[in-house]
Amino acid sequence: MTLKTTKLPAVALAVALMCIWAFSAVHANAAAVALTQESQAAITPAKALEMLKQGNGRFVSGKLEKRDLLAQVKQTSKGQFPFAAIVNCLDSRIPPELVFDQGIGDIFVAAVAGNFVNDDILGSLEFATKLAGSKLIVVMGHTDCGAVKGACDQAQLGLLTATLANINPAVNAVRGDYKPRTSKNDTFVQAVTKMNVDLTMQKLRDRSVVLREMIDQGKIGLVGAMYDVSTGKVTFYE
Residue range 50-68, pLDDT digits in tens? 999 999 999 999 999 999 9
Q: What is the pLDDT of residue 159?
A: 98
| Structural domain spans, the chain | 33-237
Q: What is the pLDDT of residue 31?
A: 57
Q: What is the pLDDT of residue 33?
A: 87
Q: Which residue has the higher pLDDT, 5 or 218?
A: 218
The arithmetic mean of pLDDT across residues 111-136, rounded, is: 98
Sequence-separated contacts (24+) of 182-191 with Cβ below 8 Å:
182/152, 182/153, 183/149, 183/150, 183/152, 183/153, 188/152, 189/144, 189/145, 189/148, 189/149, 189/152, 190/143
Task: Report the CATH number of the 33-237 domain.
Answer: 3.40.1050.10
The arithmetic mean of pLDDT across residues 67-93, rounded, is: 96
Q: What is the pLDDT of residue 82?
A: 98
Q: Please check the confidence at residue 23 and state whether its pLDDT lies above 50.
A: no
The model's pTM is 0.86
Q: Which amino acid is at 115?
A: N
Q: Dump pLDDT digits (tens) for 151-205.
A: 999 999 999 999 999 999 999 999 999 999 999 999 999 999 999 999 999 999 9
Q: How far is CA 30 from the centre of its chain?
A: 20
Q: What is the pLDDT of residue 25?
A: 43
Q: What is the pLDDT of residue 238?
A: 79
Q: What is the pLDDT of residue 28?
A: 44
